[in-house]
Structure 1
Amino acid sequence: MPSRRHVLASLGAVGVGSVAGCLGSVDTDAGATASDDDTTTDWPMANFDPMGRSYNRNTTGPTEKPTERWATEVDWQSTRPVVADGTVYVSSQARLRAFDVENGEERWSVGPLEATERPRYTAPAVDGDTVYVGADTSAGLLALDAETGEKRWRYRFDGEHTGMSVPPIPGYTGEEGWSSLVVTDGHGTVHLLDLDEREPRWTFEVYGRVSRTATRGDVVYAGTEGGEVYALYDGEGRWRRKLPGKITALAVEDNGGEVIASTFGGGVFRLRDNAHAGRTRWHAERGPVAHRAFVVADGRVCGTDLARAKVLDERSGDPEWSVEGDFGVPPAGAGDTLYFGGEKGVTAYKLGGGMGVDGLRFGGKRWHYPFEGSVSGGVTVADEAVVAVDTGGEDRPSRLRVLE
């Protein structure tokens, strides 16, 4: 019997303008997501919610130049911080650490599970009293006690060199919380892991390594380093689309389930769903590379790269406004404000960009808070504060900073 990979490949979709056939019709509105009817002011996973929108409408960050609540030394090359239930979690190549969000006191730290490992932990995902974090080693996925950091259980992948580099995200989420988790291994296999059984409900092999994931309802979306976007349902491919470059960011719209994907060098695409699954709604050829995440909020799509932050109209893909700067980490949105991390610190802008045309804007910038180094991993907004890691300078350590 041919594998799912070979069946899907036979449908084509190798050109930029072509689309794989729809493999069955699924109502992507079925089921809840982690943000449905949710009023959390936390930031419980890398890109806030399973849809990858990096925007929390239920909280606000500082709109005037903030002061520092606290700062503490952390490891270099840290991920975007995650905030849940009064705790800030920061992952790095060597450790996952938990700090009290109010005073910066370290609650616990988890290092390598074996003396020879450098785990390169992903950003965690937090659900209630459990922290899920991946390691880019044979450690695989870890489930930790949120209070103590103690290991509850582990899920390993088969084969060698099969660690995780993409953060875990919840699959279907109902009223009782997370029932499954989407994890990917180094060989390009997507696993929907049942959290009760601690075994996969299904697996699906894609071409090459997975670079980004998102979910909505029962549908799992995966982008690859080879430039493909997959929509998966119940272990089968619904559709597949080839885009012109590595998928650098992936998000799913709340209404309608259409996919927004950025590529390395090929612009930003909005892909349709349902009867026209995978076809292009719009293509912003000069859209941002959008390293690792978008902010999708209030009819706008914001991405950042090493040259600028750029905001597109969500319906048409037309540029609304942009600002030049080295913003090479994922941004965050809260309320009516965008927060960008860059080479010189954190900068806040009005979501609408102020007055003006494209890069010539007035009244859009709200504040800038300088760092000793650049922002590492990305910006998080939670607990009415901005949380980010400052890489420091040549003679200065990296520091986790909380601004309010």
Structure 2
Amino acid sequence: VTYSRSPASPPDGPAHWRPWRFRMSNDVWGTPVVAGDLLYVTSFEVHALDVATGRRQFKTKDVAWTMAVDGGLIHGSDGPTVYALDAAGGHERWRVQADAWVYSLKARRGTVVTGTRGGGVQGWEASNGEKLWEITGAQTDFETPESGPVIHGDTVYIWKDARLRALEARTGMERWSYPVGDAASCGGVPVRVCAAPDGHVYVVAGTRVLAVDIDAGMVRWHFEAPAVFLSAPAFAPGPAVTGGGVYLADYLGTVYALDATTGKDRWRIATESRQSIEPVLVTGGNVHVGSGSAVYTLDAVTGTPMWRFAAGGEVMGSPVVADGRVHFGSADHVLYTLDAAGGQLRWKLATGGEITGSPVARGGVVYACSKDRCVYALDAVKGTATGRAR
């Protein structure tokens, strides 16, 4: 069965769009990346699929344990090497040998930042692979892709010698540092950061939340919670009366709303225990959070519960909201789409495996990956069936 464009198809989607499914020969992991007319997924190699038809345009020759797409380049690592490919055609631009196994890779504004086993952090020139700087003895307690160095704007944040350090992305020079404590004093969980457009970086260190001036490193306020946080904070701009503030959830599932100016606890609401490292999602005046096997939506101003939807398994990744709909995947092998205002089920798709990463919603299309080795592209309004695997 194949599908052509119809009135039910997304009106603002890609030309000649139709629902499709692409089956990989290996497992698919992580969250798909959409850039221009291509969708990139990692299934040992990086695969570039046409967003309109699902046809594969190219795949890399090398394994990509980590991947980032930025500035017209695909940056990846097979572990011992770092490389860059042209994002449109897949041909190699450069390749360098890393000093150790690369566990984390981020790319932003012409700089690639990697974390390597044994405490190394490196900065690379994105255009040619030149090593710009290197630091040792950092990030030694937690060496996972999610816990690696963070790059935001022109600043890289690392955790070294019990201090959060802000480095200049192009030179590696330290701008400031602040003592957040070692792994034991942070409750045995990684430090998480969220750099916000209000000029502050919001830091979670175990049970503590800090607001630190991005330029000077001065702490604006400090908040202490009774349980540790596994995920980074989420920042919403604007005054508290319209839903602005800092939002986060601890591992017990308690959701907090903090005043961004004072750090005062505006409200807190219990959901259910969550092991997710994904931050809560704040949009349209609501807070959406996946806790356990359910998605909760709370009013951002008051904390009033709006609705709760229970899936058949643990919520995977983070819910995404687009055009009045909430999309999320679950360990019960199902991709769900709900009405964002009331939480009613609009459609669901049963796949052959649990959904991996977070779905992506673009131009009226929802893209998602499953452990059934398939990538799906679905009509965001109606879901529809999928076309023939290619």
- Ranges in structure 2 where 5+ consecutive residues have no aligned partner: 1-30, 37-51, 184-189, 379-390
1:3-402 aligned within 5 A: 68-70=54-56, 83-85=69-71, 105=90, 113-114=98-99, 117-122=100-105, 124-127=106-109, 129-135=110-116, 137-145=118-126, 150-158=129-137, 161=140, 165-170=147-152, 178=153, 180-185=154-159, 187-209=161-183, 210-216=190-196, 217-224=198-205, 226-233=206-213, 234-249=216-231, 250-256=233-239, 258-265=245-252, 267-274=254-261, 277-286=262-271, 289=274, 290-321=276-307, 322-324=309-311, 325-344=313-332, 347-350=335-338, 352=340, 355=342, 361-363=344-346, 365=347, 367-368=348-349, 370=351, 372-381=352-361, 390-391=370-371, 401=375
* 1:247 positional shift: 1.3
Residue identity over aligned pairs, in percent, reads: 19
Q: Which one has the bigger strand percentage? A: 2
* 1:90 positional shift: 6.6
Radius of gyration: which is bigger?
A: 2
Q: What is the distance in 2 between the residues matched to 1:339 and 1:157?
A: 40
Give the 3 Å change call, closer, same or farther, for CA 380–120 of structure 1 in structure 2. Answer: farther
* 1:135 positional shift: 3.8
Q: What is the distance in 2 between the residues matched to 1:97 and 1:132?
A: 12
Q: What is the distance in 2 between the residues matched to 1:347 and 1:318?
A: 26
* 1:296 positional shift: 1.5
- Ranges in structure 1 where 5+ consecutive residues have no aligned partner: 1-53, 60-65, 171-177, 393-397
Q: What is the distance in 1 between the residues matched to 2:297 and 2:84?
A: 33
Kept in 2: contact 1:303–1:311 (CA 8 A): yes
Tell me whether 181-190 or 201-210 shows the greater mean CA deviation: 181-190
* 1:270 positional shift: 0.6
Q: Name the SS for the 2:164 alignment partner.
A: strand
* 1:386 positional shift: 5.0
Relative to the length of structure 2, the TM-score reads 0.64
Letter matched to residue 293 of structure 1 = P
Q: Which has the higher contact order (CA 8 A, sep 6+)?
A: 1
Q: Name the SS for the 2:103 alignment partner.
A: coil
Give the 3 Å change call, closer, same or farther, for CA 312–341 of structure 1 in structure 2. Answer: same
Q: What is the distance in 2 between the residues matched to 1:351 and 1:143?
A: 43
Q: What is the distance in 1 between the residues matched to 2:235 and 2:335?
A: 26
* 1:223 positional shift: 0.5
Q: What is the distance in 1 between the residues matched to 2:180 and 2:337?
A: 38
Give the 3 Å change call, closer, same or farther, for CA 369–193 of structure 1 in structure 2. Answer: farther
CA-to-aligned-CA distance 1:7-50 (integer Å, 9 cap, x gap): xxxxxxxxxxxxxxxxxxxxxxxxxxxxxxxxxxxxxxxxxxxx
Letter matched to residue 266 of structure 2 = R
Kept in 2: contact 1:69–1:402 (CA 8 A): no
Kept in 2: contact 1:229–1:240 (CA 8 A): yes
Q: Name the SS for the 1:140 alignment partner.
A: strand
The alignment yields a C-alpha RMSD, in angstroms, of 4.2
Kept in 2: contact 1:302–1:309 (CA 8 A): yes
Kindly tell me the number of residue pairs found equivalent between the two proteins. 311
* 1:101 positional shift: 6.5
